[in-house]
Amino acid sequence: MLWDEWASVLELSCMWQMTTVQEIAVQEILQLHKRAGTDCQKVLLKLSNKLGIRELRDAVIQALSGALRPVEQIQLGTEFRVDSWLLEGYKQLVLTGISAEDEEHLGWKTTSKLFRMRDTYLLQSQLFSGYYGHSQVGTFNFIVMPLMLETFAEELKAAGWGG
């Protein structure tokens, strides 16, 4: 059977409260999902959220973590309550810049916050690297990360941030 067939079995077994079948379906999906593409992983993430299956959710989050662009991390992190994706997406856009396409996807409110953080980051990284010899990553962690946690506190809290 393919992962999507097992996903159907999982959904039905949860609906009919068939615990043994549910456990088998989860184990089969955990074996098969690694070969599934990004779109399939997103379907599995949605299903694992809907059914409350933490083991499957965690596996899919891990599998998708390296495959998402920063804007996708923010959008999916918000939709599926994955705080690590939100933080990483915000961080990457502050470090690398925000394209017009990114701005369109994120909306003006989020983009303006990120532009202000990027401006702070660039200014502080010039000051700190010249004066203290800090690396850009150190500058980000020291200056921008606290600002990011404060600026996006509501979004992170909604995504389950406990940090």
Characterize 12-21 residue by residue with b for buried, 16 or more Cβ atoms within 10 angstroms of its Cβ, and e for exposed. Answer: ebbeeeeeee
Q: Is residue 137 very low, low, confident or very high in pLDDT (cuts 50, 70, 90)?
A: low
pLDDT value at position 139? 64
Q: What is the mean pLDDT of residues 24-46?
A: 92
136 exposure class (CB count in 10 Å sphere: 0-12, 13-18, 19+): middle
Residue length, the chain? 163
Domain boundaries, the chain: 3-65, 70-158
* Cβ-contact 147, 118 below 8 angstroms: no
Q: What is the mean pLDDT of residues 53-81?
A: 95
